[in-house]
């Protein structure tokens, strides 16, 4: 079976991530989630997520009595938050151009985030 180039690229990235010891999940973009699932994906508590929803920072639907959040919206918020964190670090002078370049600083931050995430998963 011949794969479209886009699908091949996604699979290569998924395999690379798994080789690095990262967990990989492939889900449809239209998937809706409970607030608990969305909070776990973001690494925050459910009450904190509900606060973000109420502040309008993440769109949600309330078809009945429970809120539902689209996976695409949660992932978009996660990327936005990461970009804001990087911008804040750069603004504060989070790295010294003379001693450590931007790429090294980002690699160091990624490694630190992975350690924290592994500790959270370990419980």
Structural tokens at position 30:
């239209």
Q: Which phi and psi (to 5°) does residue 91 adopt?
A: -65, -35
At 82 the pLDDT is 87
At 69 the pLDDT is 94
At 107 the pLDDT is 80
- Domain 5-78, CATH: 1.10.10
Residue ranges in the chain modelled with pLDDT below 50:
none
At 29 the pLDDT is 59
Helices (H), the chain: 5-19, 35-42, 46-54, 71-91, 102-122
Given a contact cutoff of 8 angstroms between Cβ atoms, the answer to whether 49 and 67 are in contact is: no
Please report, for the chain, the start and end positions of each structural domain, with discontinuous segments joined by +: 5-78
């Amino acid at each position: 079976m011949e794969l479209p180039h886009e699908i091949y690229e996604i699979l290569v990235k998924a395999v690379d991530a798994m080789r690095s010891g990262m967990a990989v999940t492939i889900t449809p973009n239209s998937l809706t989630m409970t607030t608990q699932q969305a909070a776990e994906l973001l690494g925050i508590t459910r009450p904190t997520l509900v606060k973000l929803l109420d502040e309008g920072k993440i769109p949600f639907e309330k078809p009945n009595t429970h809120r539902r959040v689209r996976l695409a919206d949660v992932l978009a918020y996660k990327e936005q938050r990461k970009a804001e964190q990087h911008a804040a670090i750069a603004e504060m002078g989070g790295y010294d151009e003379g001693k450590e370049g931007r790429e090294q600083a980002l690699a160091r931050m990624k490694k630190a985030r992975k350690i924290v995430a592994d500790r959270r998963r370990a419980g």
